[in-house]
Chain A
Amino acid sequence: MFKISRKTLIGFIIFSCTLLLISNTLSCLKKSAQNVLAPQLSFLDLLKREFSGIIFYHRNMIQAEKLNAGVGALRWQMLDLKELNQENIRLKELLNFKQKSSLFLVPARVIARSPDVWSCSVVIDKGKNSRIKIGMAVINLQGLVGRVVECTENSSKVLLINDPSQGISAVVQRSRQEGLVNGTLGTNLIMRYLPEDAQITEGDIIITSELSQFYPKGLLIGKVINIGGDFSGLNRFAQIKPAAGLSSIEEVLVVIP
């Protein structure tokens, strides 16, 4: 059906070689392109938020009314907790309890998301200028979000925990059962390599383990919603619902060790 002449073939080979050369210089291009497009992305994000505010005005109003009703009760609870916290601090001091590490957090705003469906990443508006480096863990108020994989002066790329290339060493908080948490590209995560007699049940809380290369120990990953067996029958796996709503995150906190 298609006839390809020699000239076209030579042209195609030269073109392919050029593309391969371009592929090698992609990492250099990535940094400069991200730097150039970061302000525009921030501006677009601002516009998007303003428009969403207008479109969902009614829903937001009802939500605000509901939330305002709960604020009073929560304020009292917070006061109680503050009291307890202060008491806790005093008791710790009395026991010469030294806190192992205090996390230093840098807040950042999500300005862009992955352009395709085969990876789960976001771009945030803070970079090297805010002391952010590659490999740092990213969380939000609900739980673990991901880790920084690329960093420029004013923006960073964060690989989310539901990306399938992510592997997080994790433990079940209750039984200290260890396993590897992977992303699935979907809304849930999967905890693999659990032995047949693993002490894990539905509703168990999963946190990062101290064996994790990138993540500090004890960060909340999510909750077990289902447990199943591998095809081989040797291992079990657990489906985990991430604590952080990964599909709609807007603000994150970068953990600086």
Chain B
Amino acid sequence: MKKWSFLLVIVALALLQLTWPVFLIFFNCKPDFLLILIIALVFYLDFKVALAFTVLAGLIKDVFLVEPLALNTILFSIWSYSAYLLSRQISTENYYVRAAVVIIVALLNNIIIGLVIINFGTIIPAGIFLRNVFISSSYTAVLSVFIFKLVKKIAA
């Protein structure tokens, strides 16, 4: 039952991300709740279950994007597996460590997506590229504490 409630959490966070209020958007950047969620799921759930939810979260995000590729589904799965491998090597009990993992994953995720878009021939000014990479990733990491607490509460 607890596992299935994560389905609701994914849908709720996706809806929140889609309707994130304009007055909470800083420098045209908003947090990526689904990315935080997939990292949190790896730390609190069995990996296979977490991976299944990760694919679903990626698909939901891709559905609302304009690009025809399921890029987020693929990247989310990679980040989920990487976080799983990392959690077996180092202790990830501390919130700061988890926030650090989130910021690294968010940075890599944004850099890869940005580079893929540029590779398709789209011109993005360097300043806007850097703004999206750093501010959006930092914003995501700052809000990760709340998602981790939510996931911990549901998984407990």
Contact = CB atoms under 8 A, between A and B. Distances in A.
A binds B: yes
A123 B64 contact: yes
A34 interface: yes
Interface of A is mostly: mixed
A52 B61 contact: no
Nearest to B121: A165
B59 to A, nearest CB: 7
A164 B63 contact: no
Interface string A150-167: 100000010100011100
Contact of A164 (B18, B25, B28, B124): B124
Interface in B117-135: 117, 120, 122-125, 128, 132
Nearest to B116: A118
Q: Contact size class for B?
A: 35 or more
A116 B20 contact: no
Contact of A121 (B19, B66, B85, B89): B66
Contact of A27 (B68, B89, B128): B68
Interface string A182-201: 10111100000000000000
Interface of B is mostly: helix
B122 A165 contact: yes
Contacts of B1: none
Interface of A: 1-2, 12, 15-16, 19, 22-23, 26-27, 29-30, 33-34, 37, 40-41, 44-45, 48, 52, 111-119, 121, 123, 149-150, 157, 159, 163-165, 182, 184-187, 247-248
29 contacts: A2-B89, A15-B51, A19-B73, A23-B73, A23-B74, A26-B59, A26-B63, A27-B68, A29-B59, A33-B64, A34-B63, A115-B14, A115-B17, A115-B34, A115-B65, A116-B113, A117-B110, A118-B132, A119-B65, A123-B64, A159-B66, A164-B117, A165-B66, A165-B122, A184-B124, A185-B125, A186-B125, A186-B128, A247-B22
